[in-house]
Copies of this chain bind each other. A is one copy, B any other.
Amino acid sequence: MANLLEANCLLCRQKSDVFNHLNDNELDRVNGCRVSIKYHQGEVIFKQGSPCHEFVCVTSGLVKIYLEGEGDRKIIIGFARPVDYIFVPGAFSDKRHHFTAVACEETTACLVEVDIIQELLRSNQQFASGFLTKISEQSIRLFDQLTSFTHKQMPGRMADVLICLAQKIYQSNPFHTSLSRQDLADMSGMTKESAIRILKTFKDDQLINTEGNTIEILNMAMLETISRNG
């Protein structure tokens, strides 16, 4: 059985909130020009600085989105899971990507030309409104990350990351992740070594348990306290 999610935008819509505002006609237009692509783990979907021609909608797998700094330093600012559309702010300003998207595991995504989406934004105000909401929420998340990175120290930041992974990204408590320690470090604005050390102290303190890439939060209350106290 083929992956239903990829078969048609009309089926996919049931999963994605933004596209709920499009009628069947409009979705057919999107469906007609979409291209479904399969990415292997570690493959770049689009790269910071490159021109942005398509919108990307993740239909299976997991995509990490990060800012590239000097050297090989990264800041992971978010993830896209099925069925998430990746909001690309450059599409509305300088037509460039301002972050890089990479598949964390086997991933399929649909590419839709920017022009089509922008046409729909113009003709369908409910769709546009949904878009505005999504962008806004993304901004708000950035505020939180900026505050966390600037005001909290490492334990607080790592607590934030672990809570986010369990509650938002994987939505399960012992969760298995394809993210490396380096990725966790990039999510929390520290070096890999520091990330490993913090995870170890959390483990020693019975806050979490780690078995390779499986992490279990044992004491959520305490983690939340650590997050709050920075």
Q: Which residues of A contact B (CB under 8 A)?
A: 67, 69-70, 73, 75, 77, 89-93, 98-99, 121-123, 125, 128-129, 131-133, 135-140, 142-143, 145-147, 149-151, 189, 228-230
Contact = CB atoms under 8 A, between A and B. Distances in A.
Contact of A138 (B73, B133, B139, B149): B139
A85 to B, nearest CB: 14
A129 B140 contact: no
Given A135-B139, A138-B139, A149 B150 contact: yes
Q: Chain A: interface secondary structure?
A: helix
Nearest to A123: B125
Given A69-B151, A142-B142, A122 B122 contact: no
A89 B136 contact: yes
B146 A142 contact: yes
8 nearest interchain CB pairs?
A: A89-B136, A69-B151, A92-B136, A89-B139, A142-B142, A92-B133, A122-B125, A150-B189
Given A75-B146, A92-B133, A149-B146, A98 B67 contact: no
Contacts of A133: 92-93
10 contacts: A69-B150, A70-B229, A73-B151, A77-B146, A89-B135, A89-B140, A121-B132, A132-B132, A135-B136, A139-B142
A145 B145 CA distance: 11
Given A98-B143, A125-B122, A125-B125, A93 B150 contact: no
A227 to B, nearest CB: 11
Most buried by B among A75, A137, A145, A150: A150
A80 to B, nearest CB: 16
Given A121-B125, A149-B149, 6 more contacts: A91-B136, A92-B135, A93-B133, A121-B129, A138-B139, A139-B139
Contact of A146 (B135, B140, B145): B145
A14 B181 CA distance: 52
A147 B93 contact: no
Given A125-B122, A132-B131, A146-B146, A151 B70 contact: yes
